[in-house]
Amino acid sequence: MHHLIPLLVAVPLLGAALLVATGRVLPRIAAEITGFVVSGGTAALAVVLLLNSEPPMVEWIGGWLPVGGESVGILVVGDGPALGMATAVSLLTLAALAYAWRYFDEPLGGHSGAFTALMLVFQGAMCGFAIAGDLFNAFVFFELMSVVAYALTGYRIDEAKAVQGALTFGVVNSLGAYAMLMGIALLYARTGELAMTKIGRGLDATGHGGPDALVLASFVLVLTGLLVKAAAVPFHFWLPDAHAVAPTPVCMLLSGVMVELGAYGVWRVYGTVFAGPGGIPAADLTRALVTLGTLTAAIGAVMCWYQRHIKRLLAYSTVAHTGLFLVGLGILTPEGDDGVALYILGHAGVKAALFACAGVLLDRFGSVDEHALHGQARRLRATGVMFAVGALGLAGLPPFGTALGKSVTEEAVGGPLTLVFVAASAITAGAVLRVTARVFLGLGPRPEDAEYETSGSDEEPETSGLLSRIPDTMTTVPAVLLAAAFAAGVAPGFGAVVARSVNEAGSGGAHVFVHWTLTGVLLGVASSVLAVALAGLAVTRPGWTAAPGWAAPLRRLQSGHVGDYVAWLLMGATVLGALALPGVLGS
C-alpha cells in the first residue's frame, strides 16, 4: 500500500502532461472530462490511503530503504494529517473543476486544456507538499505550488488588478521560499541531513544542551517561508491582493487549502524538526505563534469588516481564520491540534462555498462590489441562502464542522484567548451576513463610499459574457461543499477519527477524546448571534459601524506596493526572531 503514496503526486502530474501533450487536438469537453477523471481518481486514491493510514505509513522513494538507520533517498509520510490534507486538497480540486465546468470561454489558441492542466499540477503540488517528509523536498513542492498559483492567479490577463495581484503574490512568496531555503541550508550545515526526522535528531545530538543562534536563525527563516504561505501578520499583505483577483475556482483552492497548508507546514516542521531538546523550546514557539496568530486574527477580522469588494472581504476572513489556526497550533497540546485539524476541514468547505457564491455574483452581474450590488441579487435566492448559511458556518454555528473544530480549539486554548476566537469568527461572519443582507435582500440604505479602498465594480465576468442564467454546477458545488462542512460536524465519530489520526502522527501518542461540549456549543451560538447582531447593526445603522479614525492607518498599510510588502516581510522575520529569542538566550 505504501508504494502508492507518491502516486498522489505522479497521477495528477501525468494527467496534466497528457492534457498539454494532446492539447492541440483534444476538444475542450474531452480535456475537462480527463481533468475530472484524473482529479477524481487521485481523490479516490487519497481516500483509500487515508483509510489505511493506521498505523502511519512511510515510503522511501526509489526504494532507498534506510540501512543502519541511514538512507540517501527521499521520505514521504503517509500519516493521518498528511493524507487527510491530501484528501481535502483533492476533493476541493474536484469541486473547483466541477464549478469551472465550461467556465472560461476564451479561445486559448490550441491550449484547450491549459486551465485544467494547471489545476491538476496545483493539486499534485499541494498533495506533494502535504506528504513531504524531507525538508528540501517540501521546499520543491512549496515552490511548485507557488509557481502554479501565480500563473492561475494572473490567468485573466485582461484584468489590470489580476496581473498586479499575481505579481505581488509571486514576489512575496518567492522571497519567502528563498528565506526557507536559506534556513534549510543552515540546518544542513549543522546536521548534514535533509529528512525532517533526521534533522531533528541531528539538532538534539549536536545542540550542546540547547539551541544556539544557528538554530534560531534556521527556525526563523524556515518559518518565514511557511508563514508567508499561511499569511500570518505581517506576512499577510499579498493574500487579499491575490485572492481577490484570482479566478473563482482558483480562489476556492487558494483560500480553502493552500493557505492552510502553510499552517500545516508549521505544525509538521516544528513537530519533527524543532521540537526536541536541541530545537526551539515549546514556550518560545507558543509565544511566537500565539502572538502572531492573535494579531493575525484581529487584523484580519477588522480589515474584513471594512471591505466592500466581496472576494477581498472573504480573503481577509481567511486571514483571520488562519490566525486562529496558528493560535490553536501554537499552544502545542493534542486537543489544540485536533481542534485545528477539524476547524481546517470545516473551514475549507465553508470558505470554498462562499467564494463559489461570490463567483456567481461576478458572472451574473460583472461586479463583486457590496455597494454597487445593493439589492441587485434579490432573485438569486438559492445563492443568497447558501451565502447566509456559509456565513453562519464561518461564525461556528453548531453543528457545522467549523463549530466542532472551533469549540475543541477554544477549550484547549482557554482563558482570554477564547475571546479572540469568538470575536474573530463573529466579525468575519458578521461581515458576510451584512453582504447577504444588502446584496441578496436589499436591506438598509445604500452605503457611502470611503476614500481609501478597493472597489469591486467594473470587473470582467469570468465566463463568456454575463450569465443570464446560473448553470446548475455553479449552485450544486457550493451546496455540496456546505453539506460536507455540515456533515463534518454531525457525522458521528468523524471528530474522533480525525483526532485519533492527528494524535497518532504527532503529540507523542497522547490520545484525547473529541466531542461536543456545552460550553463549546454555547460559545458557537454566541458568536453566531453576535455575527447576526453586528450585521443587523451595520445594515440598519451604517453610521455606527463605519470605519472609525483608528482603522484608517491600518487600511493604509495595505498599500498594494510590493516594496512595502517586502519590507514587512523582513520586519516579520525580525519579530519572529525576537519572539523566539528568550529560549536561546536562556540556554
Partner 1 sequence: MHILPYLVAAYVFVTGCYGLATSRNLIHAVGCLAVCQSATYVLLLAVGYRDGATAPVFSDIAPGSRPVVDPVVQALTLTDIVVGATVTALLLALVLQIAKRHGTVDPDELRELRG
Partner 2 sequence: MNRLRLWLLAVGGAGLAALLVAACLDLPGFGGRRHPYGDRAVQASLARHTANTISSVNFDQRAYDTLGEMSILFAAVLGCVVLLRQARDEHRDRPEPAEVARPVRRYALLVLPVALVTGLYVVAHGQLSPGGGFQGGVVAATALHLLYLGADYGALERVRPLGVYETSDAVAVCAYLVLGLASVLAGTAFLANTLLPYGTFNTLSSGGTVPLLNAAIGMEVASAVVVLLAHFLDQAVEIEEEQGS
User: Which 558-577 positions form the footprint of partner 1 (CB under 8 A)?
Assistant: 558-564, 566-567, 569-570
Residue 241 binds what, of partner 2, partner 1, none (CB under 5 to 8 Å, by partner type)? partner 1
Q: Binding string to partner 1 for residues 482 to 521, with x set by CB under 8 A, is what?
A: ----------------------------------------
Give, in order, the Cα–Cα distances in Å from 252 to each of 124, 243, 469, 517. Answer: 16, 9, 22, 31
Under the binding rule (CB under 8 A), the answer on residue 163 touching partner 1 is yes
Cis status of the peptide bond prior to 6, with omega within 30 of 0: no
- Considering only the stretches 153-161, 224-232, 400-408, 467-475, report the one whose residues sit in contact with partner 1 under the rule CB under 8 A: 153-161
Position among 10, 61, 140, 526 found at the interface with partner 1 (CB under 8 A): 140
Using rule CB under 8 A, residue 448 touches partner 1? no
- Strand duo 57-61 + 74-78: pairing: antiparallel
Contacts of 287 (CB under 8 A, 6+ apart): 579, 580, 582
Q: Where are the beta strands (DSSP E) in 400-555?
A: none
Nearest-approach distance from CB 96 to partner 1, in angstroms = 21
Which is closer to partner 1, CB of 428 or CB of 454?
454
**Would you call 70 helix, strand, or coil by DSSP?**
strand
> What's at 144, amino acid-wise?
L
Residue 1 sits in the site that holds partner 1 (CB under 8 A): no
Which of partner 2, partner 1, none lies near 216, with the C-beta cut-off 5 to 8 A by kind? partner 2
User: Cβ closer to partner 1: 267 or 568?
Assistant: 568
Q: Of these partners, partner 1, partner 2, none, which one is at the site of residue 118 (CB under 5 to 8 Å by kind)?
A: partner 2
Distance (Å, whole) CA 444 – CA 425: 23
Cell of 552: 484608517
- The answer to whether 354 and 254 have CB atoms below 8 angstroms apart is no
Q: Nearer to partner 1 by C-beta: 220 or 412?
A: 220
- What is the DSSP code (8-state) at residue 65? -
Q: Is 105 exposed, middle or buried (0-12, 13-18, 19+ CB in 10 A)?
A: exposed
Footprint (CB under 8 A) of partner 1, residues 191-210: 194
Q: In 3D, which of 54, 65, 43, 69 has the Cα closest to residue 1?
A: 54
For residue 164, the partner it binds in partner 2, partner 1, none, with Cβ less than 5 to 8 A by kind, is: partner 1
User: CB 572 → partner 2: shortest distance, Å?
Assistant: 7
Q: Does 158 bind partner 1 (CB under 8 A)?
A: yes
Determine, following the binding rule CB under 8 A, whether residue 326 of this chain makes contact with partner 1: no
Q: Report helix, strand and coil shares of the chain as percent, to nearest 5.
A: 70, 5, 25
Long-range CB pairs of 467-476, under 8 A, 24+ apart, other chains included: 467/363, 467/364, 470/360, 470/363, 470/364, 470/380, 470/383, 471/101, 471/102, 473/98, 473/99, 473/101, 473/102, 474/99, 474/356, 474/359, 474/360, 474/363, 475/360, 475/382, 475/383, 475/386, 476/98
Pick the piece of the chain touching partner 1 (CB under 8 A) from 99-107, 175-183, 399-407, 520-528. Answer: 175-183
Q: Which is nearer to partner 2, 153 or 501 (CB)?
A: 153
Selected from 11, 119, 196, 244, the binder of partner 1 by CB under 8 A is 244
Q: Would you count residue 174 as binding partner 1 (CB under 8 A)?
A: yes
Q: Please check whether residue 211 is in contact with residue 581, taking contact to mean a CB–CB distance below 8 angstroms.
A: no
CB of 499 to partner 2, least distance (A): 30
Q: Nearest distance from residue 468's CB to partner 2, in Å?
A: 21
| 113 vs 339, beta carbon nearer partner 2 | 113
With CB under 8 A as the contact rule, the residue among 124, 165, 278, 444 that binds partner 1 is 165
Angle at the Cα of 295 from the Cα atoms of 291 and 299, rounded to 5 degrees: 175
Give the shortest CB-192-to-partner 2 separation in angstroms: 4
Q: Out of 245, 257, 261, 420, name the contact with partner 1 by CB under 8 A.
A: 245
Whether 292 and 326 have beta carbons less than 8 Å apart is answered as yes
- Closest contact distance (angstroms) between CB of 66 and partner 1 is 16
Task: Give the per-residue contact string, 537-556, with partner 1 (x = CB under 8 A; - = no).
Answer: ------------------xx
Query: What, of partner 2, partner 1, none, does residue 59 touch, CB below 5 to 8 Å by kind?
Result: partner 2
With binding defined as CB under 8 A, does residue 241 bind partner 1? yes
Task: Please tell me whether residue 189 binds partner 1 under the rule CB under 8 A.
Answer: yes
Quick one: which of 392, 386, 196 has its CA closest to 276?
Answer: 196
Binding of partner 1 at residue 306 (CB under 8 A)? yes
Interface residue with partner 1 among 10, 18, 47, 182 (CB under 8 A) is 182
The interface partner of residue 245, options being partner 1, partner 2, none and the CB cut-off 5 to 8 Å by kind, is partner 1
Grouping H, G, I as helix, E, B as strand and the rest as coil, residue 159 is: coil
CA distances from residue 386 to 231, 381, 443, 477, 528 in whole angstroms, order as listed? 27, 9, 18, 11, 16
Between 158 and 472, CB nearer to partner 2: 158
d(CA 235, CA 573): 9
Distance CA 524, CA 530 (A): 10
Choose among 249, 227, 248, 238: nearest CA to 165.
238
Rounded to 5 degrees, what are φ and ψ at 109? 55, 60
Spell out the residues 6+ positions from residue 191 whose beta carbon is closer than 8 angstroms to its own.
198, 199, 202, 203, 206
Nearer to partner 1, 91 or 119 (CB): 119
> Which of 127, 175, 252, 403 touches partner 1 by CB under 8 A?
175
CB of 278 to partner 2, least distance (A): 12
Contact residues for partner 1 (CB under 8 A)?
136, 140, 143, 147, 150-151, 154, 157-161, 163-168, 170-171, 174-175, 178, 181-182, 185-186, 188-189, 194, 240-241, 244-245, 306, 450, 452-454, 555-556, 558-564, 566-567, 569-570
